[in-house]
Copies of this chain bind each other. A is one copy, B any other.
Amino acid sequence: MSVQLVVSSDFSIFATPPLSGNETWLSGAGDAEPAKRFGPRPADPVAHFTQDREIYGEGDTAKSYFMVVSGVVRICKFLSDGRRQIEAFHGPGDLFGIEIGGKYSFTAEAVCDCTVISYRQQGPETFQTQDKILLSQLLAYAMQNLARAQEHLLLLGRRSAMERVAAFLVDWAEDTPDGAVATLAMSRQDIADYLGLTIETVSRTLSQLERDALIELSTARQIRLTDPDALRDMNA
């Protein structure tokens, strides 16, 4: 997907403070980098969430949407018996929590300590009344998320545990001086719930990949991809 979000100076609509009592409000703003993509930083609705804190819950009234400044946020759904499916992880610059139905359709939680900026969200009428630039940005956002969800569908529906873990590592790998390295902000449980597996299967699969000399687990959360091409080829 090659869509570029276009910066609009009136994209930012200043936020009401979010709902939960979980957040810490900061007087200074966070990392300025994402502002380059999304326009001027809003006045100050910058909040900090510590690890595993809920940012909002599924079914809550959707008063704000958010942009990640630093850290990683998970977006997930729960079944009544506690089973969890993580639909996406969002990192710096990513938006989350945009809703058209007036209620959040997911729960959002901090994977690690996070800083986010919140923006006031209008009701369903937003999409009739806002300006074209905002609409086209929202559309690009929605289409990108849709494309990601659709790839994820294929992964969950038709790929083996080994293929899923390989895809996950390739997704998270970044090129560093000594090759591709995936530095994971999330626990094995998070990975499992993202990939539709159990924690044990994720762990065993990683061990297997290490035995096969495709990866090296420097630490549990720091994984060197010894052979990134082989990992990519698993999902050709």
Contact = CB atoms under 8 A, between A and B. Distances in A.
Contacts of A139: 100, 127, 135, 138-139, 142
A236 B81 CA distance: 9
A100 B196 contact: no
Interface of A: 1-3, 6, 77, 79-80, 83-85, 87, 100-101, 105-106, 124, 127-128, 131-132, 135-136, 138-140, 142-143, 145-147, 149-150, 152-154, 156-159, 193, 195-196, 235-236
Given A124-B3, A128-B6, A196-B157, A100 B140 contact: yes
Instruction: In the A-B complex, list the 4 residue pairs whose CB atoms are closest, starting with the nearest.
Output: A157-B196, A142-B142, A156-B156, A149-B149
A48 to B, nearest CB: 27
Contacts of A127: 136, 139-140
B101 A1 contact: yes
Given A142-B139, A143-B100, A157 B156 contact: yes
Contacts of A157: 85, 156, 193, 195-196
Contact of A3 (B100, B131, B135, B156): B100
Contacts of A136: 127-128, 135
Contact of A150 (B105, B154, B158): B105
A229 B132 CA distance: 44
A151 to B, nearest CB: 8
Nearest to A77: B154
A190 B152 CA distance: 19
Given A85-B154, A127-B139, A147 B6 contact: no
Nearest to A127: B136
Contacts of A140: 100, 127
